[in-house]
Amino acid sequence: MKKRVILRFKRNTIDKPIVYRLVKDYDLTFNILRANISPKAESMMVMEIEGEEANFTKGMEYLQEAKIGIEPIEQDISRDEERCVHCGLCTSVCATEALDINRETMRVNFDYEKCVACELCVRVCPVKAMHVSFT
């Protein structure tokens, strides 16, 4: 099982080894897609978490007990290939490099696995080729 989630940390939970426990105690693997961590304010981390379903469930229960907010990412970004004119504007706002330009073909590539559904590409696309869909 693999899911993308947003974890929200309160000020008093920032110093706990949360990710370490997910790996060690629940045998989950993770990829941090985006993070904004601050010791004096609420922090957030966008993660892709993967593991056996039972371990995933136990890991999520641990996070809830530790008072970590969990928000599943229930939206997906897709691209309408027929509409896309490969102008590259979306690549300038894509922090995860899910969108990049192939310099040989000058076409925009979209790597779904890197996408964190931040919607910045949707906002800047002049031909509205990028779409948000809710799962």
pLDDT tens column, 44-79: 888 889 999 999 999 999 999 999 999 887 667 889
Contact of 27 with 51, CB cutoff 8 Å: yes
| Residue 99 lies in domain | 75-134
Q: Are 11 and 63 part of one and the same domain?
A: yes
Q: Which of 24, 39, 72 is the last residue in one of the domains?
A: 72
Nearest alpha carbon to residue 22 among 54, 41, 49, 42: 49
Kind and range of the H or E run holding 57: helix 53-65
Q: Are 44 and 65 part of one and the same domain?
A: yes
Q: Are 9 and 42 part of one and the same domain?
A: yes
Cα-Cα end-to-end distance for the chain: 16
How many structural domains are present in the chain?
2
Please state the pTM of the whole predicted model.
0.61
Sheet holding 2-9, edge to edge: 29-36, 43-50, 2-9, 69-72
Q: Please state, for a pLDDT cut of 70, what percent of the chain lies above it.
A: 96
Q: Which CATH number characterizes residue 19's domain?
A: 3.30.70.260
Q: Are 67 and 15 part of one and the same domain?
A: yes
pLDDT tens column, 101-114: 999 999 999 988 78
